[in-house]
Structure 1
Amino acid sequence: MRYGIGVFTLTAFLLSDVSLSNVYASRSFPKVVPRVTEKKVLWMSGEGSVTLYRSPLITTTPRGTIIVVTEGRKSTGSDTGSKFMAIKRSMDGGYTWTPQDYILDDGYMYKDGLNMGVILVDEEANAIFIVYVMCAHYRDCSVSTTHYMKSIDDGVSWGKSVNMSAQIGTKMFAPGPGYGIQKKYAPHKGRLIVCGHGTIAGDGMFCLLSDDHGNTWRYGGMLKSIPYNQPKKAGDFEPDECQPIELSDGSIVVNIRNQGRYHCQCRIISRSYDGAETFPLEHVYFDTALIEPVCAASTLYHNDVIFFSNPMSTKRINLTLQWSYNNGTTWSGKLPIDPGYSGYSCMAAFQNPLKYGSDIFIVYESGLQKSTAMDSITLIRVQLY
């Protein structure tokens, strides 16, 4: 298997006369010098009786598996309509992949089928969750429900879908899209956190919390739109699709789509110091360095660096990776990923870089045919050192 940290990484550490084990033990990581080393198309629209693939999710597992899940939109490319949940897995660090499999079919009877979604690894329980929403847009349906599926064998098989409505109600909650997190530090170490958004009228960033490995869920902190549960117009405050990360001090930072373009055409940032129980307004700000075209984005905290990927434009083009050494106060560098059409993205890296390497994996909607931002799902490998 082609695991490892690579020649460039080893050379960097040898030149600095610092052993790998000492570096990771002391958390004194070198500066990153990211570069793209591999590009692979995982799905192409029109394959497998699917009109369009969208909203890809990616995660890594403690056992060394990479899992990518995406929506397979059957007959229409719109957000509504019937869908498959498609999956591919890699057990050799992303070099080869299993054939496509469908782990859920929402059924052709639905006019407003499933929408992705969040993938979440519970390292303490050796379980993986996929959380998704049904009837998010109320198209020929009246009740929205949030569900999860669970795997205990590294994504090989999945249990039956569980409707979470009895615990969290039927207010529309669309998870992510992206990944959920398990807290590694106090407060509330081990807590599972899934963040998402509501309807356009009742929009906002909302987080679901579980302190018993996903057996029960409840709402935690939120950042509601203004006005709330009322019609919106351009310029209103509308926190929307979002991605949480946990910093080394135990705080939770959520990077949020600025749906109404309030204040700027840039990202909303919110922070919690109580394990996502609350997101006080005094810890909300707008990051004007993170320009966006009103689109889902991804953020990742890896080796004490925050990474951010999105179409760095006012249009869905120019997917770019940025990084910050000071928790997002300033951004130190940019790496162009794809100058063409691009859309939603999601990032992952292995938690054990000594065993599996420190590469970052970015999966995103790409426009290979140059006519749309989302005719394929593409995987990028980024070498950091």
Structure 2
Amino acid sequence: MRGESEATLRRSLASVLAVGLLAAPVCAGTASAASRSGPGCTGSVPYTAGRGGYDTYRIPAAVRTGAGTVLAFAEGRHDGEGDTGDIDVVLKRSADGGCTWGPLRVVADGGGNTRGNPAPVVDPRSGRVVLLTCFNGGDVTEARIMRDEAARGLGRRVFVQTSSDDGRHFSAPREITGAVKRPGWRWYATGPGHAIALRHGPHVGRLVVPADHSAAPRPGSADTGREARYYGGHALYSDDGGLDWRLGYVDDSDDGRLNVNESGVAELPDGRLYFSARDQNGTGSRGGHRLDAYSRDGGLTLSRPYAVQPSLNEVPVVQGGVLQMPGPHAPLLFSGPSVPHARRAMAVWSSTDAGAGFTRLATLSSGPAAYSDLVPLGSGRVGILYETGEAGPYDRIEFRRLATVPRR
């Protein structure tokens, strides 16, 4: 009976999502155009390359505040599509579920350097928006950081900011690098994508941020140069609403089989945490590029090491979004491109067995697509904020509203 009901749920969800995703065109990102679509709009375009003072917008992250406002974060890149340069963390707010957006706001100004990897979360106790980001010098590439070639203070550093007025204003970035980055680590990246606040078990209220890092090659390892070739995953957490931060689990495998890179996290209905990560060209994936792991203690340790998720083998090497929909029998969703060796065809998958397996539900388009994040919109609806375009995947960041997700 349980298997039959879950199969029925998957079929129903797939049907409803397909209708919701493909029934209508996306409305324009301007308030005047979007307002004509009314509250039932399919979506909008909050960020378009070349507008608002930036060459390119990348790395989307989204949360919904207690007041129902959708906050869409991104990196505003002045110098082009590249990951290095003068990069700010920017934000747009929507009071109508992603149909229209307010003006662009700079949350963390790079000032010629790089600020990025936004990982926002809403603290359930205070209602404050807590945002973690990373920093490095504007002329320092990821490869140079991994070779330990960044000058003092210009390597990867970690910061936190908060907003007490529904995302209208944020505090200045406050550095927490010393609390969450081990001395031997070189690269460091929060998320990107939303973080979570725990709602079940003994750690209710804990803020958990998924992250990745690289470390110096171990003495006597096969590395002949100074570059740390392997990535590892970890989590950082706060039990006081974002004031103090500590390291949770650390995955430091350096055998090159599974390279845990950019990751997301969801809290399952039974209180376990589900971590979904990009496999950065690991040799043990047998064609798959997604890894996952679980935690039973609020992110302090992993129940098992990261393993390949074979039901997501269609996903290329790229960041992906993960979201547990509200409700005891609601699905776990995943978003990402769906062409194994190309960043194209953004799609949504669903799991009704806590991430053991995923079923593809719908494809948003066949065009270029890359990073994404998922955000609950209330009443069973979900939004997806993702990179897409025609000439390439970084022409714009689009927001799509998915039809109601059925629940038992």
What does residue range 243-254 of structure 1 map to in structure 2 within 5 Å? 243-254=264-275
2:131 equivalent in structure 1 = 130
Confirm or deny that 1:219 pairs with 2:247: yes
Distance 2:180 2:358 in 1: 37
User: Any runs of at least 4 consecutive aligned residues in structure 1 with deviations exceeding 4 A, and if so which?
Assistant: 28-31
Shift of 1:331: 2.7
Greater displacement, 98-107 / 341-350: 98-107
Matched residue type, 2:247 = Y
The verdict on how the C-alpha distance between 1:247 and 1:217 changes in structure 2, with shifts beyond 3 A counting, is: same
Distance 2:259 2:279 in 1: 6
Distance 2:270 2:381 in 1: 24
Greater share of strand residues, 1 or 2? Answer: 1
2:386 to 345, 364, 376: 364
What does residue range 83-102 of structure 1 map to in structure 2 within 5 Å? 83-102=87-106
Distance 1:155 1:247 in 2: 27
Output the TM-score relative to the length of structure 1.
Answer: 0.83
In structure 1, stretches of 5+ residues that fail to align are 1-27
Distance 2:133 2:209 in 1: 11
Distance 2:53 2:164 in 1: 29
Aligned residue pairs total 340
2:179 touches 2:247 (CA, 8 Å); kept in 1? no
1:10 equivalent in structure 2 = none
Matched residue type, 1:97 = W
What does residue range 74-85 of structure 1 map to in structure 2 within 5 Å? 74-85=78-89
Shift of 1:202: 5.2
Confirm or deny that 1:323 pairs with 2:343: no
SS in 2 for 1:167: helix
Shift of 1:151: 0.4
Shift of 1:115: 2.1
1:310 equivalent in structure 2 = 336
Matched residue type, 1:344 = Y
1:266 touches 1:289 (CA, 8 Å); kept in 2? no
1:324 touches 1:333 (CA, 8 Å); kept in 2? no
Matched residue type, 1:358 = G
Question: What are the superposed Cα offsets for residues 80-136 of structure 1, whole Å, 9 maximum, x if unpaired?
Answer: 11112211101122222102122221112x3xx112121111111111111111127
SS in 1 for 2:210: strand
What does residue range 1-385 of structure 1 map to in structure 2 within 5 Å? 31-32=12-13, 33-34=16-17, 35-36=20-21, 38-108=42-112, 110=113, 113-135=114-136, 137=142, 138=145, 141-142=151-152, 143-169=155-181, 171=185, 172-199=187-214, 201=229, 203-227=231-255, 236-261=257-282, 262-264=284-286, 265-281=288-304, 284-291=306-313, 292-303=315-326, 304-314=330-340, 315-350=342-377, 353=378, 357-367=379-389, 370-385=390-405
SS in 2 for 1:289: helix
Distance 1:212 1:29 in 2: 38
Matched residue type, 2:395 = D
2:121 touches 2:195 (CA, 8 Å); kept in 1? yes
Shift of 1:333: 4.3
Question: What are the superposed Cα offsets for residues 133-155 of structure 1, whole Å, 9 maximum, x if unpaired?
Answer: 11273375443210011101110
2:69 touches 2:95 (CA, 8 Å); kept in 1? yes
Shift of 1:30: 11
SS in 1 for 2:201: coil
Identity %: 25
1:246 touches 1:253 (CA, 8 Å); kept in 2? yes
In structure 2, stretches of 5+ residues that fail to align are 1-8, 25-41, 215-227
Output the TM-score relative to the length of structure 2.
Answer: 0.79
